[in-house]
Structure 1
């Protein structure tokens, strides 16, 4: 059977690259953007060690405390290909095993066939899948990769709070543990969503209630949902990011336009003249924005807490001259009165007391030093005057030192701050050094500290130099209201410039990405059309095989991003409404896509729960034939309570066919018991009966044993006939069925089969070989029904058992 292979991200990237290669002009950049996104996804951090190039086979399932399987039950699948049937009555635990596998693979209960878009049935669904009275349920699943034989062991523990899933990936040289939060499960979940390996037909039919449900279901059948959804999300994220960046820039620009207008208006009110409005233009790059900022003299400027006064050029020289004069006066006075402040104060006070006391000449003796000195009054007065002058000079100098910061240091520091950016900064080095010296000397608590006085004096002398005057003039020109206005303008533009710088890289891609999104939608539509056509080619024959007897076929499958069409027609070419289908016909239609896509995805097995629901004999036969064909390439696990389904599967399936009878007792103990096909069961029963007769030495009963052998051969002939009927049209099959049913005797059935197989030399040869083995025995078995003398003895009966088994083995090999 042809298959619709899973679309991978690698496939998607290759198809986009091919499209980009064929495009020219403006469209090529859009395709290149899409190709880059696909390549980034492929080379990104998607942890695909569980999915890439994998085909997982189901090996073992162990379930405890899950729904109907309250006690531990184990299922082992030995066949790489073939069919395993879980056969039992309702409530025997078949569906519990199927659902347990789904929970372990998906890591959640309450899952639907429609993924996260589906909802658990309000009445019949449940998130808690634990058996009654069980605290924890466990499901263990063992998978084996077909190509590498790597083993993946999954353990799902179901508690009241939900499902905790862990895994262990074992290869020939590595063991990797996967906890419940492992990123590998994310890609695994995408793969399961794209090609689910477990299908419960009754649940799926119940979920398909609305058109959107059909859309979701058919889209998943295209085997492209995983890659297309991941890539579609990436395209959407890229477009959204670029649009957001563009909006961020535009929003910041609107804010800046208003802020600039406000700054200009405020400056006009304060008296700034010649303010020209900014001409705002669209910028496509950082280079364009930079040129626009420069053209409009929009550069970063530092604001000051205090500004240069208009009399700055006059006040600074005056302070410098005053400080220099005070420095000189204090220096001269200090050299003439080299006494401490305390002695100075004492002498000045003494002079004042002498003057106020009108004291005489003290008999010509100086009251200060005690030496004869007739003119000591004049000498004391002169000394007191010198000391007073020195004290006043020191006081004035201290006052000027304390004013130095406001009157000279800060204005000169402000000069450095307000100088325009194009001013020759080499001329500012000397000023910066002198200001630094003043700052360092200012730590002294003594206002007449020599280092401080020297530093201030040096700064005052510098301010009188010609280069200082040019610097001050430049600073004064850059200071004031106009400078403040330009600072405010820059502040107003900054939010726009910053937003532009941060977002232009993305925003500049908006047009390209929007075009890329359009191209992607078109490309995705083409992929959907192509895959819809492929799905139609696969579903058409599958549905026709199930509904061909009533003339219903699929006329069209069209799956778009927003809706899906599944059109039917009858043999007259008339449209058939889905609502007019019977339950069995609807089931057959739903199974069509399942059959068509059974071999896609990362799993080499499928579990179908009750797929023949509401089917008549014809559809059971046709579905059995189809599933047997699929079973040649992968492992199928089927659950059913329909004995017809089991027998038709026995007819059509290869030798890799196992039937396990399921049963569950009142305590919740579930059992799986292997069964044989009807011919083998009859022979087994015959051997057991013959053994009992021999042990009992019973004289009669062997004739009944031979009847069992003849019945086994008739069953084997029936299976050959059924396999032949599957090759025919409905009308031809019905006619052949009547012919075969009219052949009542074994030999007559053989003759009917020879007619059926006339066009098949290989199969006819096997029938001839089988008849040659058993022909003489058949005659004896038939005669023994009425002639006791023809009944074989015990020894002959053993030989007949061997002959019957060999014959039936040959008949089992008659297949097409």
Structure 2
């Protein structure tokens, strides 16, 4: 299971009972997941582990650092290192070029340098050596655990390059956690304890805890909380301004809006305000606005034509009233009945006049008359029908005009008194239409001007109200989400505090342990270091006690104590168990330390070197002296710099060689009694064989793929020179009874005799002369190597 999935499950367990757990877990995932959950989607599933495999990285050691034309180094020179746990000192005076190796390794592996990071540009100058005419090159060779081949990390700049940021090293999966555990401890790191802002120091330490996903989750929650809270504040801030602006507007809409707004933003009647902004009219003047718009959108019926048609139709009827057309229909009807009588009963006397006779000749004449009379009657009927229609149309038109315009004059009388007065007078004169069109046109124009003025007066206040209302509606709709986000951040903050405290405890324990070793005679005691807060409030606290009284570390510590505190803070980060980098580079750690603290530093470095490859660069002679005096095993390289930046490296000390040199010098010291010298010489020879045996065993086991933990576990019970030689030559302590036979068969009897001599010599037994003992030990060392 990868780190992120493990952290997700740990977080899920801690917030499982929270009603807002879905928001917290969604924020852990991504912005998209959080937005979807806020919108009502289900809580997301745990992050998917695409491999399903352990992502443990191989152990990484430094094998060499090659530098050419960089900082204080001119021609190419290579610092060779033993790729295994152990302490290496690189010593030399200031300006010798030793720190150039530390900075070169840091730049190659991180594409940056703490020396110039977050500092003025002047610190970036001088990265290229002034005395080197060729290209600048850095090559770091890494040795990996197991049977993996070594890896070379290179940076190269041609002679025209002016910026060290050019030609960054290509990505390498071995280095994907180098920023997290940062196996470099520079003077700038130590300085940050004193000078860095609280957030910068927090950020320098936080990666080791692996809580970045939680910080990202909090940032997502905070961004959305802030977004909603800013809107709520915007509504509050705009409320008073809006009310003040509306109070200055003489408009029913403004008055209704003020009433709907109420005394506080939270009590505003948003529904009424929404209706007001949508209709553009207050309830008090809605009828006036509607009447004006109906008037403008409508058309005046043609009253004059309707009345004129009625009058013409009436005149036509009157003109025909005394003519034959008026009675032709009745006469034709009478003759038609007489024809029907003749048809039914035949010839007979006229039933009307009693003098004439109804016969065939009369019938012929009567039918011709009927045809003539019906034609005359049709004209009369047409005139009557036209009059009926004209009267109905005129009545309907006049009624419509009176109704519509009467309603308009009633509705608009208060707004447009003069125009409505003229139109009312014209309506009273109907059906006479003289002046109606003029009055109507004036009324429409007046209504149009009134609406325009009204619209102009409300444009800005209405727009301001709409903007505020839109925001207020959004705030109302988001109120629940805002409460959930606030609660989610609170719950997440509590979970982060708990997880951080648990993960920090081991780190703090290491820091306090290192401080106790470094402080030596100091009366300042470091208490439980704490990392607190989130967002811009994150900080690291260093509570201390001085002779039992609580104080702030930065306020009471000396410069040397502060640098010791820096080592206590940053060394555990570089040496975290989870780090794949089994090396740590420390540059100039002795600053301002008194001798007691230098001794403590030597002990700390020696202790760390049991499980880490520790490379320390220093110009201070006190550290190598303390390491020699305290018997801390270390490889020492001395750096010297000649003219034109020609840097040379010389092996200054090797544990086995040192012991052997001491044995040789003491054996030659004729001024001391032999009985006093011999046990000590034998002890030096024994220490040389033990140191070389441990080196040989470690080197072979690392080549075989063993981890440093496995190697140290095997070395821990090997306390005698025989046991350590057994591991070096036979690889298994259980084969100890084979050791002397192996020496005899492999090197000769002299080797077994030498081992017996150094083992027993420290207790006073002399099996050979001191000169022979030293010479044979030297030969055996060569064989072991």
TM-score normalised according to structure 2 size: 0.53
Q: Does 1:547 align with 2:528?
A: no
Do 2:682 and 2:759's aligned partners in 1 also have CA atoms closer than 8 Å?
A: no
| 1:635-646 aligned within 5 A | 635-641=613-619, 645-646=623-624
Q: Which residue of 2 aligns with 1:280?
A: 261
Conserved? CA contact 1:609–1:638, under 8 Å: yes
Where does structure 1 lack aligned partners over 5 or more consecutive residues? 1-6, 173-184, 326-474, 688-700, 702-706, 724-758, 783-788
> Matched residues in 1 for 2:272 and 2:63: separation?
70
Q: Deviations for 1:243-296, whole angstroms, at most 9, x for unmatched residues?
A: 233344556766766776677x34689xxxx978652379999xx96x556765
1:610 corresponds in structure 2 to 588
Query: 2:130 is paired with a residue of what secondary structure?
Result: coil
Is the Cα contact below 8 Å between 1:558 and 1:566 reproduced in 2?
Answer: yes
CA distance in 1 between partners of 2:758 and 2:100 (Å): 45
1:63 alignment counterpart: 67
Structure-2 residue corresponding to 1:392: none
Residue 570 (structure 2) aligned to one of 581, 594, 599: 594
Shift of 1:607: 0.7
Spell out, residue by residue over 1:684-710, the C-alpha distance to the aligned partner (whole angstroms, 9 max, x if none).
Answer: 9999xxxxxxxxxxxxx9xxxxx9999
1:514 correspondence with 2:486:
yes
SS of match in other structure, 1:71: coil
Asked if the contact 2:662–2:684 (Cα under 8 Å) also holds between the matched residues in 1, the reply is: no
Cα distance 1:553–1:299, how it changes in 2: closer, same or farther (>3 A)?
same
What is the CA deviation profile of residues 404-434 of structure 1, one whole-angstrom value per residue up to 9, with x for unaligned ones? Answer: xxxxxxxxxxxxxxxxxxxxxxxxxxxxxxx
- Which residue, out of 684, 687, 691, partners 1:715? 684
Corresponding position: 1:239 with 2:239: no
Q: CA deviation at 1:520?
A: 4.2
Which of 144, 163, 166 is residue 164 of structure 1 equivalent to? 166
**In 2, are the aligned partners of 1:293 and 1:299 still within 8 Å (CA)?**
no
What's the counterpart of residue 341 of structure 1? none
Q: Distance in 2 between matches of 1:78 and 1:324?
A: 122
Q: What is the alpha-carbon distance in structure 2 between the residues aligned to residue 808 and residue 651 of structure 1? A: 26
Whole-angstrom CA distance in 1 between matches of 2:179 and 2:567: 17
Q: Could you tell me how far apart the structure 2 residues matched to 1:42 and 1:150 are?
A: 42
**1:236, 1:106 → 2: CA distance?**
31
Distance apart, 1:233 and its partner CA: 4.0
SS in 1 for 2:70: coil
Deviation at 1:83, TM superposition (A): 3.8
Deviation at 1:608, TM superposition (A): 0.3
Task: Tell me by how many angstroms 1:557 deviates.
Answer: 2.6
Aligned to 2:641: 664
Map 1:152-191 → 2, pairs under 5 A: 153=153, 155=155, 160=162, 163-164=165-166, 166-169=168-171
Inter-CA distance 242–311: structure 2 relative to 1 (3 Å threshold): closer
Alpha-carbon contact 1:87-1:641 (below 8 Å) kept: yes
1:284-334 superposed Cα distances (whole Å, 9 cap, x missing partner)? 99xx96x55676583489xx9x97684976624359979999xxxxxxxxx
Q: What does 1:358-373 correspond to in 2, within 5 Å?
A: none
State the match for 1:339 in structure 2. Answer: none
How far apart are the structure 1 equivalents of 2:113 and 2:779? 47
Partners of 1:554 and 1:569 within 8 A in 2: yes
Gaps of 5+ in 2: 35-46, 282-288, 311-443, 665-669, 671-675, 693-715, 726-738, 741-750, 763-767
State whether residues 221 and 489 of structure 2, in contact with CA within 8 Å, keep that contact through their aligned partners in structure 1.
yes
Deviation of 1:146 (Å): 6.5
Could you tell me which residue of structure 1 aligns to residue 343 of structure 2?
none
Q: 1:359-403 deviations in whole A, cap 9, x for unaligned?
A: xxxxxxxxxxxxxxxxxxxxxxxxxxxxxxxxxxxxxxxxxxxxx
SS in 2 for 1:509: helix
1:286-297 equivalences under 5 Å are 292=272
Q: Which residue of structure 2 lines up, in the alignment, with residue 774 of structure 1?
A: 754
Residue by residue over 1:51-71, the C-alpha shift from the partner in whole angstroms, topping out at 9 and shown as x without a partner, is x96576555544333221133
Correspondence for 1:36: 26
Q: Secondary structure of 1:167's match?
A: coil
Residue 93 of structure 1, CA deviation? 1.4
Alpha-carbon distance in 1 for matches of 2:297, 2:717: 119
Shift of 1:198: 1.6
Alignment partners' CA distance in 1, 2:494 and 2:475: 28
The aligned residue for residue 175 of structure 1 is none
Cα separation, 2, equivalents of 1:154 and 1:318? 100
d(CA) in 1 for partners of 2:140, 2:273: 67
Q: How does 1:498-513 map to 2 (within 5 A)?
A: 498-499=470-471, 509-513=481-485
**Residues 155 and 616 (structure 1), Cα distance of their counterparts in 2 relative to 1, 3 Å cut:** same
- Find the counterpart in structure 1 of residue 744 from structure 2: none
Kept in 2, the 8 Å contact 1:197–1:603? The answer is no
Is the CA contact 2:70–2:137 (under 8 Å) kept in the aligned structure 1? yes
Aligned partners of 1:311 and 1:234: how far apart in 2?
A: 55
Kindly tell me: are residues 209 and 538 of structure 1, through their superposed partners in 2, closer, same or farther at Cα, counting changes over 3 Å? closer
Instruction: Rate the CA distance shift 1:640–1:322 in 2: closer, same or farther, 3 A.
Output: farther
What are the superposed Cα offsets for residues 680-733 of structure 1, whole Å, 9 maximum, x if unpaired?
36869999xxxxxxxxxxxxx9xxxxx99998755355679999xxxxxxxxxx
Candidates 3, 10, 17, aligned match of 1:22? 17
The corresponding residue for 1:756 is none
Residues 150 and 171, structure 1, Cα contact 8 Å, conserved in 2: no
Q: 1:130 aligns with which of 124, 128, 131?
A: 128
CA–CA distance in structure 1, aligned partners of residues 304 and 139 of structure 2: 94
Alpha-carbon separation, structure 1, partners of 2:277 and 2:679 = 109
Matching residue of 1:91: 95
Identify if the C-alpha distance between structure 1 residues 156 and 120 changes in structure 2 by more than 3 Å, giving closer, same or farther: farther
Aligned counterparts of 1:312 and 1:551: Cα–Cα separation in 2: 95
Question: CA offsets, 1:759-809, max 9 Å, x none?
Answer: 989438649999974378679999xxxxxx9898xxxx6x97444454799
Give me the whole-angstrom Cα distance separating, in 1, the residues matched to 2:242 and 2:295: 32
Contact 2:193 2:562 survives alignment (8 Å): no
Aligned length: 550
Contact 1:142 1:151 in 2 (8 A): yes
In structure 2, relative to structure 1, the CA distance for the partners of 1:78 and 1:498 (3 Å cut) is: farther
Contact 2:602 2:627 in 1 (8 A): yes
- The answer on whether the counterparts of 1:86 and 1:94 sit within 8 Å (CA) in structure 2 is yes
